[in-house]
Amino acid sequence: MQGAFGDIVIEDVYPELDCGRYPVKREVGDRLEVWADIFKEGHDVISAIVKHREEGNEAWSETPMRFFGNDRWTAAFDLTKNTRYEYAIVAWADSFETWRREAGKKVEAGQEVTLELVEGRSIVAAAYERSKDKRLVRTLKTFDAADYEGRLALLRSTEVADLIASHPDRSRSSTSETLLVTVDRERARYGAWYEMFHRSQGIVPGESATFADMEERLPELSELGFDVVYLVPIHPIGATNRKGKNNATVAAPGDPGSPYGIGSAEGGHMAVHPDLGTLENFRRFVEQTHEHGMEVALDFAIQASPDHPYIREHPEWFRFRPDGSIKYAENPPKKYQDIVNVDWDSEDRDGLWREWRDVLLFWVEQGVKIFRVDNPHTKPFAFWEWVIREVQKDYPDVIFLSEAFTRPKVMKNLAKLGFTQSYTYFTWRNEKQEIIEYLTELTKDWPKEYMRPNFFANTHDILPHILQFGGRPAFIMRLVLAATLSPTYGIYNGYELCENTPRGERGTTVYYQDSEVYEYKVWDWDRPGNIKDYVKRINGIRRENPAMQELTNLEFHEAPNDDILFYGKKTGDNAVFVAANLDPHEAHDTHVRFPLWDLGIAEDEPYVVEELLSGRRMQARGSYFWVRLAPEENPAEIFRLSRAETAEDRADAR
Amino acid sequence: MQGAFGDIVIEDVYPELDCGRYPVKREVGDRLEVWADIFKEGHDVISAIVKHREEGNEAWSETPMRFFGNDRWTAAFDLTKNTRYEYAIVAWADSFETWRREAGKKVEAGQEVTLELVEGRSIVAAAYERSKDKRLVRTLKTFDAADYEGRLALLRSTEVADLIASHPDRSRSSTSETLLVTVDRERARYGAWYEMFHRSQGIVPGESATFADMEERLPELSELGFDVVYLVPIHPIGATNRKGKNNATVAAPGDPGSPYGIGSAEGGHMAVHPDLGTLENFRRFVEQTHEHGMEVALDFAIQASPDHPYIREHPEWFRFRPDGSIKYAENPPKKYQDIVNVDWDSEDRDGLWREWRDVLLFWVEQGVKIFRVDNPHTKPFAFWEWVIREVQKDYPDVIFLSEAFTRPKVMKNLAKLGFTQSYTYFTWRNEKQEIIEYLTELTKDWPKEYMRPNFFANTHDILPHILQFGGRPAFIMRLVLAATLSPTYGIYNGYELCENTPRGERGTTVYYQDSEVYEYKVWDWDRPGNIKDYVKRINGIRRENPAMQELTNLEFHEAPNDDILFYGKKTGDNAVFVAANLDPHEAHDTHVRFPLWDLGIAEDEPYVVEELLSGRRMQARGSYFWVRLAPEENPAEIFRLSRAETAEDRADAR
């Protein structure tokens, strides 16, 4: 005979990802809302709690659940620490509350309950046996000394109910599976990233920048409002099969090679390229970045140049072909001759996994707490689940960004396995309907529980066609979208200059001409036409408006024009709306509709609209609002709404 | 380090109910479609199968899965037996297919693949090591003797691919959880039930009918097209606290008492009431029912009259109050003094559970294969899960109908635990929108996987208000709805007579006046105003039209009138549509729209409409169709659509 009878059903628990296989994600300062269907046969009164603890703690805390309706219960508890929490639901039938309810109904129907009182007393006596709480002895004595009415009043009193509730009989309780929530620091959800390619930071043509040169840019990046400075690999680069400019198969003398061709006689993944400086210089760069209120994200690319020291020191980590060579990376018929992959089927799997963990820990010890992981979808899922956990066990503040431009389910699986953030398809979503659909999936559907988007408007490898064709208006529009649709977003250096020269004919590739991946560059960071002022204002708007720092509060609103996207975010009193012209070539206009009903503003009540990019301040009345968005003037507008609090605002309302 | 690397992810498996906690349900003759997301890091070619077997079998059968798109795979297999099947998904990376694909791409790109050929040979050699299949030795010899082109052609041939595929390397495969599907016989899904109260079958006023009297009705019920004859409890009835007519607290002499007050000195749950006859008479009734092409369903009510032999023989199965009495059933302040419940907390839990199983098995041995279970929601869930399994282990053809008019999640849970069919809220759904919502939930949402509705239009306890007020047109309309919305439906005897006298004022209770629950009745089964002809035609339509025998094929269609419900079902070529006037008082008309696009009939193509209740045959063209439904004439119409196949039909098409 299976199961204990009298069991309580606990099902449809929220949040629970893939039957509890993976943790969900939240951030420090959040409250975790837990929900479940809880019921039992018959008519017993049920009590339920959520028990929860920081992983590794012995003791559980308990939060009582409250009945919501239709057998659904809920409770919430605070996530105060950057760690993982365990939680589970415990439910039991409450015999004394059941007794009180039934006896109460009978009394109210004028029925005599002498026998019921004796039964009630035995529940009190059992509570005493369980708890040895002396106050219950007093209750029993009072009961025994009282007459019918006195006994009834005593056992129906809230005092006795509370006393018994403090010693619940959970001997036949049901407990749900124990579930996990990973609680990350705030930067996991919210931040502005600047991808700084060291080769873009040079001041002498044809020469590498140094960490010292890179430091020179930090004041400006800080001023522009960035939070994270992400560096592509900074390690020594192999010479064998090194790529030349614009991905030429043969490098010319002086060509630096792709920084993803990691490893040379000068060192591997734990070394810095001598042209950039020393490890100590790097640590200073990390410190300087902190000084400027930002932090460094480092690229983590598991691959090696044919000259990587690992090949000599650990041949067992590579697979040799019948001719004694190591297969270079390829995606047939494409070839990456400057890169070889490790053999995940190596007999020394444990050593290989540990080495990569140690590489991560090495950089963590240099002060790096964010890793942008290159192509994680080509490495074993189980490795990621293990290595992220290994690092976060001791350093829960480490953030992993998954650079997996791959199939939707693989992208999502990496997020489930533990990646803190994910690159997304944002870069390829340009039409109104596809943006709405994709953002609705990310912000309202299951992914919101485990996948945090990082919307890059461009990367060193991706110059989207809309930027190639749309120029400056497109750069502004896509910046606004990235920075306001997602609380975490990024740009790759040069975006602020509206650099959009593609390799080959416009619209045929997404690569940059003369990309820094293969050569050194010197840029004029103040070149005419730059949109740095826009970047600064948008990052400022993000910082000043809490609503911009959340993901799941995104709502799309009425704007009956296919070229104008209109949406808003609201957190507490802060309500911000964005209207963007998705067409970088033509002006478009439409009415948009502010959801005044969500803001507690009546349709006939005056309110104030601030356009945050221009600083315009308007008085308005009614939910309909007209916008006209011209590519050269105002490709997007950002509105903050507030009630008209001053007499002046009220008087001016149109 | 957790998990094996290289593992394949198998997730979002369908069908999988509550993480595999419960089996899903199907019927003999169905094909089980299995779906799953299956993927792995990187670009390996994946192979997957569904393995499946009848529970208890050692050996698995295998069905290859095919790739559907977006990492989703599917396969289907036949459910040929009334038993439970296990199924699971196995997936693995296919190294030879991966090799073939990559080598193929290189060859097509004009690349030289000498090394790849050597690598391909080693995969063939490994397949030989695994399988010792001599044909592979031949392949290897052919390879070794061939030149470059010959080797390439050999390893790219489908012959070699098929040969290797017949010895897949599953050493690193992933396997999903093993899931279960309960495969019931067809009657679980499809059947017309007639609730025959033995006390309605008498021929002498004030006297009990006998099984022989009941047999007299079988030819008629068979003629009317019923499949199941359901009997309320037929056991001896207690005298203590026996209820009188219309639920009077005190019975008058001669009052028979409620048949749910089971048990007296004459026996308990394994005995028949002497007034009905003997057990042998009952077996004869069962046989006679079979003779008429129907079968018997018996009520199973776990409760006892205060005179039940169990109380003397097994006092440990009951809970005695402080005064030595047993608490009678109550739902405070309501009291059921003629019934006591067993104590599910009994120390002899095992004995108690086994006894109820033995009661069921006793009746199974008398030929009963369907049980209508009274109030299962007040007994432990775990008991039902156990006892249904215990019975079905040896008698998989036994059907359990859950009479749980309770909260939605409890009702659904009983279905998940194993009940074959469920009473539903149909009896209380009268408005168009609520019918559409409820039926959409039952036929399209998760419940369709585990909960089979049995739509009773009335029961001995429920005379819905719409029947009280709506009279004959309401009886016809609700009959059509019950019989065509759900493949299983039922009526309680008297429905065919449009009997609708409630206890008390119309619309204040749902009880019958002078209900058979408390007294004997003699009916004229041919009384004027009866709708037996309707019943017969509707049951006939159900038998003749396979579409009517399915649940999940229900679709609602356009009918822009709130009083007219319009829906259809289609199975193969059989397409049947129902228009019902939900208002039993007034005529209503509207256009309805046949979904010709689902039937392969062009908008301008002639087709034939048969109205199956009246036998009218019309030629039509175009999806719009006018209906006028008058309560006294045609409260509902049932249309069968077919292509106009004859020249005459084509010519007549309007």
Rounded distance, CA B648 to CA A30, Å?
73
Chain B CB contacts of A334 under 8 Å are: none
From chain A residues 32-51, the ones with a CB under 8 A of any chain B CB are 37, 39-43
Of chain B, the percentage scoring pLDDT greater than 70 comes to 98
Residue/partner pairs of B144-150 with CB below 8 Å, 24 or more apart: B148/B114, B148/B117
Chain B residues in contact with A41 by the CB 8 A cut-off are 377-381, 410
* Contact of B513 with B578, CB cutoff 8 Å: no
What six digits make up the tokens of B616? 């009218």
Predicted confidence at residue A83, as pLDDT, reads 98
At A194, which helix (H) or strand (E)? strand A191-196
Is there a contact between A41 and B332 if contact means CB atoms under 8 Å apart?
A: no
Q: Is the pLDDT of residue B3 over 70?
A: no
Q: What is the C-alpha separation between B203 and B284, in angstroms, rounded?
A: 20
> What backbone phi and psi angles, to 5 degrees, belong to A599?
-105, 0
Q: Which two tokens stand for residue A298?
A: 């480092």
Give the pLDDT confidence score for residue B1 in this predicted structure: 37
Confidence of residue B550 (pLDDT cuts 50, 70, 90): very high
- Label residue B199 left, alpha or beta by phi (over 0 means left) and psi (-120 to 50 means alpha): alpha
Cβ neighbours for B112, distance < 8 A, ≥ 6 positions apart: none
Q: Do A71 and B410 touch (CB under 8 A)?
A: yes
The arrangement of strands across the sheet holding B564-571 comes to B555-556, B564-571, B574-581, B636-643, B606-611, B617-621
Q: Whole-angstrom distance between the N-terminal and C-terminal Cα of chain A? A: 75
Distance from the B154 Cα atom to the nearest Cα atom in chain A, whole angstroms: 20
Query: What is the CB neighbour count within 10 angstroms for residue B91?
Result: 24
Instruction: Choose among A102, A323, A381: nearest Cβ to B41.
Output: A381
Instruction: Say which DSSP state A253 is in.
Output: T
B374 included as an active-site residue:
yes
Q: Say whether B11 and A18 touch across the interface (CB within 8 A).
A: yes
Question: Is A503 an interface residue toward B (CB < 8 Å)?
Answer: no
pLDDT at B437: 98
Show the beta-strand stretches assigned E in A544-654.
555-556, 564-571, 574-581, 588-593, 606-611, 617-621, 624-629, 636-643
| Residue A132, both tokens | 């040895």
Quick check: B445 pLDDT over 70? yes
Residue B401 has pLDDT above 70, yes or no: yes
Average pLDDT rounded to a whole number, residues B262-283: 98
CA dist A84 → A31, A147, A357, A368, B79 (Å): 14, 55, 20, 21, 45
Cα–Cα distances in angstroms (integers) from residue A324 to residues A319, A321, B99, in the given order: 9, 5, 19
Reduced to 3 states (helix: H, G, I; strand: E, B; else coil), residue A498 is: coil
User: What is the torsional sign of CA A627, A631, A634, A639?
Assistant: positive
Task: Show residues of chain A in contact with B382, CB under 8 Å.
Answer: 2-7
Q: For residue A348, list chain B residues with Cβ-Cβ distance below 8 A.
A: none
Mean pLDDT computed over A545-566? 98
Per DSSP, the three-state class of B18 is: helix
Band of pLDDT at residue B218, cut at 50, 70 and 90: very high
Mean pLDDT, rounded, for B330-346: 90
Q: Which residues of B touch A5 (CB under 8 A)?
A: 344, 349, 380, 382-383
User: Chain A interface, mutation test: which of B2, B41, B323, B446, most A Cβ atoms within 10 Å?
Assistant: B41
The pLDDT mean for chain B works out to 95
B contacts of A109 (beta carbons < 8 Å): 332-333
Contact A119 B382 (CB under 8 A): no
**Chain B nearest C-alpha distance from A577 (Å):** 34
Hey, are the CB atoms on A381 and B7 less than 8 Å from each other?
yes
Is residue B254 a contact partner of residue B262, using CB atoms and an 8 Å limit? Answer: no
Dihedral of CA atoms B470, B473, B476, B477 in degrees, nearest 10, equals -70
pLDDT for the residue B651 = 64
Single out the catalytic residue among A16, A195, A403, A449.
A403
Spatial CB neighbours of A313, under 8 Å, sequence gap ≥ 6: none
Helix axes B432-444, B465-485, angle to 10 degrees: 40
CB spacing of A413 vs B39 below 8 angstroms: yes
Q: Is A516 a catalytic residue?
A: no
pLDDT for res A651: 64
The answer, for B375 touching chain A at a CB cutoff of 8 Å, is no
Q: Does B18 touch chain A (CB under 8 A)?
A: yes
Q: Residues A151-160: pLDDT tens digits?
A: 999 999 999 9
What are residue A141's phi and psi, to 5 degrees? -65, -45
* DSSP symbol at A573: T
Contact between chains at B382 and A2 (C-beta distance less than 8 A): yes
Residue B322 has pLDDT above 70, yes or no: yes
A161 and B CB contact within 8 Å: no
> How far is CA A315 from each of CA A13, A323, A433, rounded to the nearest angstrom?
48, 15, 51
pLDDT tens, position by position, A496-508: 999 999 999 999 9
DSSP B53: E
- In Å, how far is B13's CA from the nearest CA of chain A? 10
Nearest by CB to residue A353, choosing from B1, B410, B413, is: B1
Contact B254, B242 (CB under 8 A): no
Considering A295, A374, A496, A637, which one is annotated as catalytic? A374
Q: Are strands B399-403 and B421-422 parallel, antiparallel or unpaired?
A: parallel
B601 has which bridge partners? none
- Closest approach of A319 to chain B, Cα-based (Å): 12
d(CA B421, CA A60): 42
Determine, for residues A382 and B7 on separate chains, whether the beta-carbon distance falls below 8 Å: yes
Name the E strands within A472-582.
488-492, 555-556, 564-571, 574-581
Indicate the pLDDT class of residue A6, thresholds 50, 70 and 90. very low
User: How remote is the C-alpha of A392 from its chain's centroid?
Assistant: 16
The residue annotated as part of the active site, out of B27, B97, B403, B649, is B403
Q: How far apart are CA A518 and CA A256, in angstroms?
A: 6
Nearest CA distance, B244 vs chain A (angstrom): 22
Strand B24-27 with B9-14, pairing: unpaired
Of the partner residues A105, A119, A322, the one whose CB lies closest to the CB of residue B322: A119
Residues 403-442 of B with CB under 8 A from A: 407-410, 413
Give residue-wise pLDDT tens across range B561-616: 999 999 999 999 999 999 999 999 999 999 999 999 999 999 999 999 999 999 99
The pLDDT value recorded for residue B4 is 38
Contacts of A349 in chain B (CB under 8 A): 1, 5
Q: Does residue B351 belong to the interface with chain A, where contact is any CB pair within 8 Å? A: no
Q: What angle do CA A247, A253, A258 make, to 5 degrees?
A: 35
Of B213, B307, B374, B583, which is the active-site residue? B374
How much is the mean pLDDT over chain A?
95
Q: Give the closest of B9, B19, B118 to A381, CB-based.
A: B9
Exposure string over B33-43, b if 16+ CB within 10 A, otherwise e: ebbbbbbbbbe
Chain B residue with Cα closest to A347: B5
To test the contact with chain A by mutation, choose from B5, B10, B354 the residue with the greatest count of A C-beta atoms within 10 A, namely: B5
The alpha helices in A167-265, defined as continuous H runs, are 211-215, 218-224
Q: Which amino acid is at A630?
A: A
Residues 266-325 of B with CB under 8 A from A: 321-323
Peptide bond into B333 cis (omega under 30): yes
Confidence of residue A331 (pLDDT cuts 50, 70, 90): confident
Cα separation, B54 vs B393, whole angstroms: 12
H or E element: which one contains A10?
strand A9-14
Per-residue pLDDT of A197-227, as tens digits, reads: 999 999 999 999 999 999 999 999 999 999 9
More confident of the two residues B647 and B26: B26
**Residue of A21, A22, A35, A41 to mutate for B, most B C-beta atoms under 10 A:** A41
Report if pTM > 0.90: yes
Return the DSSP state at A317. G
Beta strands in A271-359 (DSSP E): 295-300, 328-331, 334-340
Interface contact flag, A70 B1, Cβ < 8 Å? no
User: Taking CB atoms and an 8 Å cutoff, what residues of chain A touch B409?
Assistant: 37, 39, 70-71
**Interchain CB distance below 8 Å, B410 and A383:** no
Q: Using an 8 Å CB-CB cutoff, list chain B residues near A381.
A: 7, 9, 40-41
Predicted confidence at residue A487, as pLDDT, reads: 98
SS (H, E, C) B531-556: CHHHHHHHHHHHHHCHHHHCCCCCEE
- Give chain B positions within 8 Å (CB) of A409: 37, 39, 70-71
pLDDT tens for each residue of A219-275: 999 999 999 999 999 999 999 999 999 999 999 999 999 999 999 999 999 999 999
Which residues 100-159 on chain B approach chain A with CB closer than 8 angstroms?
Answer: 102, 105-106, 108-109, 111, 115, 118-119
pLDDT at B7: 79
Are B24 and B181 in contact by the 8 Å Cβ rule? The answer is: yes
Residues in A touching B344 (Cβ below 8 Å):
5-6
